[in-house]
Amino acid sequence: MTSYLTIARDAHGEVEVKNSRFRCTLRRVSSEEAARALVAALRKEHWDARHHCSAFVLGPDSALQRSSDDGEPAGTAGAPMLEVLRGAAVSDVAAVVTRWFGGTLLGAGGLVRAYGDAVRAALAEAGTLRRDLVTEFAISLDHGSAGRVESELRARGLVVLDSAYGDRVRLVVGSTTPGSVGPLVAEVTGGRATAEPAGERWVDAG
């Protein structure tokens, strides 16, 4: 697993069926705790709503998946919400659909459609972006050349993840093609600097 999709931005989507409002809040989250905190915050904010159903998918491999019907008939809310997230192939995402009851029972099929449609509407607003697993490299540079080297590395497609200024400048760059980094740094610095492996991390690729 070297890449996966998540949402590009937080978003909302809303549908209305027979006077019942279904408002989906879609949020990028990094942990189960953050997803549950979102549900709690919306429950407090929209205290007048009858249900706050949720679904979330977490991890580069989408390994952690949870859903809740929050009092709706079993399988009519959280499960269809989760299926929409799975169908969009996004992860690190929490969806909470807040429902204000409009006085008319919708039946199981109506609920499944309404909850799923609310999530689809929010996903359409959110868009997607790719996250890549990059290999990190640390480069030590003198102050005089650091700015030029950083600019050239960015222009050649490397992601500059961090920079620290002390007696020398320490750049941390990331690449999805780690074998190319050493020769590129040697070329850009005229052989005066080397790239030392420094770990891995996930970054937004756009």
List pLDDT tens digits, range 31-50.
Answer: 999 999 999 999 999 999 99
Look up the domain containing 85 and give its range. 3-126
CATH number of the domain enclosing 90: 3.30.230.30
Q: For residue 1, give every residue at least 6 positions away whose Cβ sits within 8 Å of its Cβ, in sequence order, or none.
A: 60, 61, 133
Confirm if 48 and 41 have CB atoms less than 8 A apart. Answer: no
Number of domains the chain is built from: 2
List pLDDT tens digits, range 148-162.
Answer: 999 999 998 898 999
Q: What pTM was computed for the model? A: 0.86
Instruction: Give how far the C-alpha of residue 97 lies from the chain's centroid of Cα atoms, to the nearest Å.
Output: 18
The DSSP line for 95-145 is: EEEEEE--SS--HHHHHHHHHHHHHHHHHHHH-EEEEEEEEEEEEEE-HHH
Q: Name the domain boundary from 59, 93, 126.
A: 126
List C-alpha distances in Å: 131 to 91, 92, 201.
10, 11, 10
Please count the residues of the chain.
206
Whether residue 12 is found in the same domain as residue 111: yes
The DSSP line for 46-90 is: TTT-SEEEEEEEESTT--EEEEE-TTSSTTSSHHHHHHHHHHHTB
List pLDDT tens digits, range 75-130.
Answer: 999 999 999 999 999 999 999 999 999 999 999 999 999 999 999 999 999 999 99
Residue with tokens 């997607």: 128
Q: Which of 18, 12, 10 is nearest to 98 (CA)?
A: 12
Residue with tokens 């998946």: 65
Whether residue 115 is found in the same domain as residue 135: no
Whether residue 119 is found in the same domain as residue 143: no
The amino acid sitting at 59 is G
CATH number of the domain enclosing 157: 3.30.70.260
